[in-house]
Amino acid sequence: MSGPRRPTDPPGLERYYVLTGGRSGPGGSASTLDVATLIISRAAAEPGLQHEHEEILRRCRDPLSVAELGAHLGLPFNILAVLLADLLDAGRVEARDPIPASGAGRGPDLALLEEVLSGLQRL
Amino acid sequence: MDFKGFDHPDRQTAGGGTRSVKVMIAGGFGTGKTTLVRSVSDIKPLTTEETLTQASVDVDDLIGVADKQQTTVSLDFGKIGINEELVLYLFGTPGQERFWFLWNGLFKGALGAVVLVDTRRLASSFRAIEEMERQDVPFVIALNVFPDSQDHPVEEIRDALDIPEHTPVVTCDARDRNSSRDVLIALIRHLKARSAVALEPR
């Protein structure tokens, strides 16, 4: 349900301030979040959760990227990252970073590139 | 962990083993980045935003600052389902390169990039090419053919843009799905070729 915004929602900066409890940037677990990081719910939404947290848990039953979440929830990246940090720290969501073309110490990932190539060729 | 109430009771863990990869679509303003993302994406392109505000706002000052100078920088993106367990995200970079720092290392973790070039305005993509080289992001150059583009030999443009021999330069019509897909294929082939070289025993 992406119902209409509650009329009490403050606009702009004030709204973000309320959402994040005044925190300006994510720390710890969320500091490496990428726009293409996939978020997957690992717990069901419970009563008492902040509305936005609940919304994230609900939308991420199937993996969804941070960018998609931001677009659907209408939240800028840095605000969303703060909210995701809460959920990550509580173990309520899992974050999977995008696979890089070559991992540290294991060289280029040819199998991955081959997989992407055959997927594109089927388009 | 309690998974009661989930829609997929048959699955051990929600999400299976799905992973993502990302490719950046760069280039100057108006070179067709969003057009390319739109033509090849499985979903209608979405926009994610980042807000830049003046320095850090002090808590006590917050009330009444909602109309303080805010700059919104957006990133258009789309996605392609590669297979059941792999999703490719395409991000069109903001035209204003000075904002690229906003997203946690926008190019970090990308497989590579496509730099779109409008042959009528070569200079508009100089900055994007420089940035790819500076950040060591492997890329291909895609010359987006506009209806009134003159027919330039690829090598002439390679010289004009000072593109090294090993970087592919292809032409495309960003409005066309197959053509845009072929640009992505050219990029992945380029990445494979680079990897093969890197894997060769010295």
> Looking at residue B154, which CATH number applies to its domain?
3.40.50.300
Query: What single-letter amino acid sits at B28?
Result: G
Query: A115 to chain B: nearest residue by CA?
Result: B82
| pLDDT per residue as tens, chain A (123 positions) | 445 554 444 556 677 777 777 776 655 656 679 999 999 999 988 888 899 999 999 999 999 999 999 999 999 988 899 999 999 999 999 999 999 877 655 667 899 999 999 999 999
Structure-derived torsion over alpha carbons of residues A4, A8, B68, A70, reported in degrees to the nearest 10:
-40
Asked if B99 and B93 touch (Cβ cutoff 8 Å), the reply is: no
User: Tokens at residue B135, please?
Assistant: 């950040």
Provide the 8-state DSSP code for A49. S
Asked if residues B114 and B26 have their Cβ atoms less than 8 Å apart, the reply is yes
Chain segment B81-128, per-residue pLDDT in tens: 999 999 999 999 887 777 776 666 788 889 999 999 999 999 999 989
Of B2, B49, B195, the CB nearest to A108: B195
Q: What's residue B18's pLDDT?
A: 95
Task: Compute the nearest-CA separation of B101 from chain A (Å).
Answer: 12
In a domain, B3, yes or no: no
d(CA B191, CA B194): 5
E strands in chain B = 19-27, 46-53, 70-83, 86-92, 110-118, 139-144, 169-172
Q: What angle do CA B59, B62, B68 make, to 5 degrees?
A: 135
Amino acid B164: pLDDT: 92
What residues make up the domain containing B122? 19-51+69-199
Pairwise CB contact (< 8 Å): B188 & A116: yes
pLDDT along chain B (202 residues), means of 10: 41 71 93 95 91 50 49 88 96 78 78 94 91 91 88 89 94 96 98 84 62
Chain B residues with CB-CB distance to A97 below 8 A? 109
C-beta neighbour count of B199 within 10 angstroms: 11
Tell me the two tokens of residue B109: 């973790």
Tell whether B12 is within 8 A of chain A (Cβ): no
Res B55: pLDDT? 43
Rg of chain A in Å (alpha carbons): 17
Residue B170 contacts residue B141 (beta carbons within 8 Å): yes
Query: Does B31 reside within a domain?
Result: yes
* Structural contact between residues B31 and B125, judged by C-beta atoms closer than 8 angstroms: yes
Tell me which chain A residue has its CA closest to the CA of residue B51: A76
- Residues with Cβ < 8 Å from A122, sequence gap 6 or more? none
User: Could you tell me if A115 lies within 8 Å of chain B, comparing CB atoms?
Assistant: yes
In a domain, B2, yes or no: no
The residue with tokens 């443009």 is: B157
Given CB atoms, is A114 within the 8 Å cutoff of chain B? yes
- What is the structure's pLDDT at B58? 43
Say what the pLDDT of residue A7 is. Answer: 47
* B80 chain-A contacts, CB cut-off 8 A: 119-120, 123
Question: Which chain B residues in 46-75 lie under 8 Å from chain A, judged by CB atoms?
Answer: 46-51, 53, 56-57, 59, 62-63, 65-68, 70, 72, 75
Correct CATH for A12-121 of 1.10.357, 1.10.10, 3.30.460, 1.10.20: 1.10.10
**What contacts A113, CB < 8 A, 6 or more positions away?**
A101, B111, B188, B191, B192, B195
**Best mutation site among B18, B21, B36, B69 for testing chain A: the one with the most A CBs within 10 Å?**
B21
B87-116 residues touching A, CB cutoff 8 A: 87-89, 91, 102-106, 108-112
- What residues in A contact B8, CB-CB < 8 Å? 61
**Cα–Cα distance between A44 and B135 in angstroms, integer?**
40
Which residue in A has a C-alpha nearest to residue B109's C-alpha? A100
Handedness of CA B177, B42, A98, B70 (dihedral sign): positive
Residues of A in contact with B77 (CB under 8 A): 35, 67
Q: Which tokens hold the place of B122?
A: 């070569």
Two structure tokens written together for B106: 């926008």
Q: Quote the tokens at residue B167.
A: 């970087």
CB pairs under 8 A between A and B: 186
Please give the ipTM for the structure prediction: 0.82
pTM over 0.90: no
Which pLDDT belongs to residue B44? 93
Residue A111 Cα to chain centre, angstroms: 27
Q: Please report which helix (H) or strand (E) contains residue A96, including its range.
A: strand A93-96
How far is it, in rounded angstroms, from Cα B91 to Cα B27?
12
Q: Give the total number of structural domains in chain B.
A: 1
